[in-house]
Amino acid sequence: MRRSRGCLIVFEGPDGCGKSTQAEMLARHLRKRHIRMVHTREPGGTVLAEGIRNILLDSRSQITPLSELLLYESARAQHTEEKILPALERGKVVISERYTLASLAYQGYGRGIPLSSVRTLNRIATAGLQPDLIVLLDLSPKQGLLRARRRRVLGRSPTVPAALRKCVGRRRKLDRLEREALAFHKRVRQGYLALAGKNPSKIRVIDASLSPSQVHQQVIQILEKEKLL
For residues 114-121, average pLDDT: 98
Task: For the chain, list the domains and their CATH numbers.
Answer: 7-225 (3.40.50.300)
Q: What angle do CA 73, 127, 123 make, to 5 degrees?
A: 55
**What one-character DSSP code corresponds to residue 112?**
-
pLDDT of res. 81: 98
Q: How confident is the model at residue 125 (pLDDT cuts 50, 70, 90)?
A: very high
Interhelix angle 182-198/141-150, nearest 10 degrees? 120
Asked if 33 and 149 touch (Cβ cutoff 8 Å), the reply is: no
Which candidate, 209, 1, 176, 20, places its Cα nearest to that of 96? 20
Which candidate, 22, 213, 57, 30, places its Cα nearest to that of 134? 22
Asked if 29 and 41 touch (Cβ cutoff 8 Å), the reply is: no
| pTM of model > 0.85 | yes
Which candidate, 211, 58, 55, places its Cα nearest to that of 137? 211
Read off the pLDDT of residues 178-211 as tens digits, 9 standing for 90 and up: 999 999 999 999 999 999 999 999 999 999 999 9
